[in-house]
Amino acid sequence: MSAITRDEVAHLARLSRLALTDDELDHYATQLDAIIESVAKVAEVAAEDVPPSSHALPLKNVFRADEVRQSLTPEQALSGAPAVEDDRFRVPRILGEEA
């Protein structure tokens, strides 16, 4: 039995905001199935009582002084934008997407 179905891969692509073609979905379904089967080996380590590590080092939150510092100018912030209007990022419509 496969670890992941083609429909699941299509769902993942939607969640990932990747507009994939049918051929790509077939291709990735096969590859992801093999990869998931292989990474499932993590289950072999007995670790029920072990705490998870999200990080290599023990970390605590770092604060900095609340001081005004120089930041990007509007021109700099917009310098790489695909579309600009009135000193703002111009984006495609975001409302009324789902009728």
Partner 1 sequence: MSLISKTAAELGAMIAAGEVSAVEVAEAHLDRMVEVEPKVQAFLHVEREVTLEQARAVDTRLRAGERLGPLAGVPIAHKDIFATRDMPTTAASKILEGWRPPYDATVTARLREAGLVILGKTNLDEFAMGSSTENSAYHVTRNPWDLSRVPGGSSGGSSAAVAAYEAPLSTGTDTGGSIRQPAAVTGIVGMKPTYGGSSRYGLIAFASSLDTPGPFARNVLDAALLHEAFSGHDPLDSTSIDAPVPSVVEAARQADIAGMRVGVVKEFGGEGYQAGVLARYHEAVELLESLGAKVVEVSCPSFRTALPAYYLIAPSECSSNLARFDAMRYGLRVGDDGSRSAEEVMALTRAAGFGPEVKRRIMLGTYALSSGYYDAYYGQAQKVRTVISREFDAAFQQVDVLVSPTTPTTAFAIGERADDPMAMYLADLCTIPSNLAGNAAMSVPCGLADEDNLPVGLQIMAPVLADDRCYRVGAAVEKALESRWGGPLLKEAPSL
**Binding of partner 1 at residue 52 (CB under 8 A)?**
yes
Annotate each residue in 21-40 with x if it binds partner 1 (CB under 8 A) or - if it does not, as one string.
Answer: ---x---x--xx-xxx-xxx
CB proximity list for 37: less than 8 A, separation 6 or greater: 3
Annotate each residue in 60-99 with x if it binds partner 1 (CB under 8 A) or - if it does not, as one string.
Answer: -xx-x-------x---xx-xxxxx-----x-xxxx--x--
Tokens representing 63? 């604060």
Residue 81 φ/ψ, nearest 5 degrees: -70, 140
Find the shortest distance in angstroms from Cβ 6 to partner 1.
Answer: 12
**Binding of partner 1 at residue 1 (CB under 8 A)?**
no
CA contacts within 13 A on the Cβ side of 49: 0
Among 22, 23, 43, 86, binds partner 1 (CB under 8 A): 43
**Binding of partner 1 at residue 55 (CB under 8 A)?**
yes
**How many Cβ atoms from other residues are within 10 Å of residue 28's Cβ?**
19
Tokens representing 43? 């289950």
Find the shortest distance in angstroms from Cβ 66 to partner 1.
Answer: 14
